[in-house]
Each structure stands twice: as C-alpha cells, then as structure tokens.
C-alpha cells in the first residue's frame, strides 16, 4: 500500500490553547520532544541523546491526538499520522518495509513528529521470534535505535493496552515514558468545557461548573459532543449558544467510554 494514502505530512494548527487540562502531560511532552527539537545543541553539548518518543495511554477521546498535534505545532515540526493497523500487511516483509518507509519519510521532513495511533496493533509482544509481528517489532526497534541522535524525528505512540506492548520498546532510550491520559475528573471537565467554549460569548459561571459536575464519566470527546449538540440547538433558533442549550444538550449525551478504564 502507498504510504501517501496512509499518512500525510502536515504542520498541525492545533495549539496548547485547544487542549483543556492535562497540563502535567503537556510539560512532559515539552521536555521530551519540543525542547529537544528546538534546541538540539543543548543536549549535544552535555552529551546526551534524547529518547525516541513517548507512549500515551488511556481510553479513547481524552486528548491524545490533540496533545501530539500541539506538541508538533509548538516545535514547528511536521506531523505524520500512522494508524497502526494500516501498516499491517499479510504479505511477508511488507509491514516491515512500511515501517522503514515511515521513518525514511519522517527523516526527510525533519523536524518531524510521527504519531502512531493504535500502536499496540504493531508492537504486540513477540511470542514467536520468526513471526510477522516479531519482524515488525524488530523493524521498529531498529528505527528507534538507528541514529546516534534523533535527527529531529520523534515518535508519539498511543495505546489503550500498555500490557500488550513488547517490553523491548519500553526500554530506556526508546519509549522511556508512559504518560497516562485518563478520563477527566470534575475540575478537569470544567477546564475542558472552558476550552471548548473559549470562542463563545457565554458567562462562565457556577451553572457551567454544575454541568461539568453532572458529566461524570464523560471523555473530552463526549464534552465536545455536548457543546456541538448545544450548537445545533442554538442554530435551530438562529441564535448563539446559551446556558440552557448546554443544559439541554447534557441530557442527550451518554459517556462513550465503558467501565473497563
């Protein structure tokens, strides 16, 4: 399959202002990726190489993609999205070649952040050393270790099953850090709603805090769905979003993530 169809190289326009809550993770991504891309000479001067990337883990819709894009945006780096399952191919050797092609392309568009979504599908534990999945993991390891320095290529991988990832990929220098992006707690939901409503002229008061409180179990994507639904109500009246729209919308949305997280 042509890689061009699988992932485009873009310069994301998502910024940290689009990401609500998650400030610890934001800082970790700056340390692990943004500063090394912006100031490679500082790391070279003290003689250290930076790890290849970070692994973001957690349930769907909680901001992993947003975080990765804002990271690339701040670093003014190109961004390539690869969905793990897309690289898997039943023909012997094809998947490994696809992995190598991704990194070749990333190096030629460095500085570059490669975003591997659903990484567990590519990086499952190697049970059979000769099996196709072992060859894909070996190809990933070779690419992650390949250069003495990162050459401006960093990887953000996501999974909701860290236990499935081959441990060799988690060793120091590779995906050294596993950052958990969980469902937002109440205060985080307030911040996320504030972020989602930042361009909307609405008084952000206790009433909205109450909505956030009532959204137990909602992911960031569910909160975005709530705001979108409120927007539909507003459009139907040919008016702006009001508090009543948000309250009404809240009643129509169910948390999308099950109890297994």
- 112, containing H or E segment: strand 112-117
Nearer CB in complex with ligand ATP: 124/158: 158
Q: Which stretch binds ligand ATP (CB under 6 A): 104-112, 171-179, 219-227, 242-250?
A: 219-227
Among 12, 16, 19, 124, binds ligand ATP (CB under 6 A): 19
Residue 195 engages ligand ATP in binding (rule: CB under 6 A): yes
Residue 65 engages ligand ATP in binding (rule: CB under 6 A): yes
Residue 224 engages ligand ATP in binding (rule: CB under 6 A): yes
Among 12, 64, 95, 183, binds ligand ATP (CB under 6 A): 64
Q: How far is the CB of 135 from ligand ATP (least distance, A)?
A: 26
Contact, 168 vs 176, CB < 8 A?
no
State how far the Cα of 55 lies from the Cα of 137, in Å rounded to an integer. 15
Per the DSSP assignment, residues forming a β-bridge with 113 are 79, 154
Nearer CB in complex with ligand ATP: 86/158: 158
Residue 193 engages ligand ATP in binding (rule: CB under 6 A): no
Q: How far is the CB of 202 from ligand ATP (least distance, A)?
A: 16
Nearer CB in complex with ligand ATP: 83/100: 83
DSSP 158: E
State how far the Cα of 38 lies from the Cα of 40, in Å rounded to an integer. 6
Residue whose Cβ sits closest to ligand ATP: 220
Q: Which of 83, 218, 73, 101 is nearest to 158 (CA)?
A: 83
Output the CA angle 222-179-165, nearest 5 degrees.
100
Per the DSSP assignment, residues forming a β-bridge with 179 are 56
Among 30, 35, 60, 107, binds ligand ATP (CB under 6 A): 60
Considering only residues 79-118, where is the footprint of ligand ATP by CB under 6 A?
A: 117
Nearer CB in complex with ligand ATP: 42/180: 180
Nearer CB in complex with ligand ATP: 14/95: 14
Phi, psi of 54 (to 5 degrees): -125, 155
Q: How far is the CB of 197 from ligand ATP (least distance, A)?
A: 10
Structure tokens of 97? 């070649």
Longest dimension (CA), the chain: 62
Among 75, 112, 136, 192, binds ligand ATP (CB under 6 A): 192
DSSP 117: E
The C-alpha R_g of the chain, in whole angstroms, comes to 20
């Amino acid at each position: 399959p042509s890689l061009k169809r699988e992932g485009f190289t873009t310069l994301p326009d998502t910024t940290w202002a689009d990401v609500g809550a998650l400030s610890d993770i934001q800082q970790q991504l700056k340390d692990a990726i943004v500063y090394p891309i912006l100031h490679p000479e500082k790391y070279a001067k003290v003689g250290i190489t930076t790890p290849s990337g970070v692994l973001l883990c957690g349930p769907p819709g909680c901001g992993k993609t947003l975080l990765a894009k804002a990271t690339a945006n701040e670093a003014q780096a190109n961004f390539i999205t690869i969905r793990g399952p897309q690289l898997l191919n039943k023909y012997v050797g094809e998947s490994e070649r696809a992995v190598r092609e991704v990194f070749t392309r990333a190096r030629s568009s460095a500085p570059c952040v490669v975003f591997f979504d659903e990484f567990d599908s590519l990086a499952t534990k190697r049970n059979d050393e000769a099996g196709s999945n072992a060859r894909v993991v070996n190809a990933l390891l070779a690419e992650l270790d390949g250069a003495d320095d990162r050459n401006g290529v960093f990887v953000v991988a996501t999974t909701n099953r860290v236990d499935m990832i081959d441990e060799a990929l988690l060793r120091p220098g590779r995906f050294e850090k596993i950052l958990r992006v969980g469902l937002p707690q109440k205060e985080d939901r307030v911040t996320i709603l504030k972020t989602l409503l930042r361009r909307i002229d609405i008084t952000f008061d206790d009433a909205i805090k109450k909505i956030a409180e009532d959204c137990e179990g909602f992911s960031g994507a569910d909160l975005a769905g709530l705001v979108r639904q409120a927007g539909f109500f507003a459009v139907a009246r040919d008016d702006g979003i009001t508090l009543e729209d948000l309250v009404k919308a809240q009643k129509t949305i169910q948390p999308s993530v099950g109890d297994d997280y």
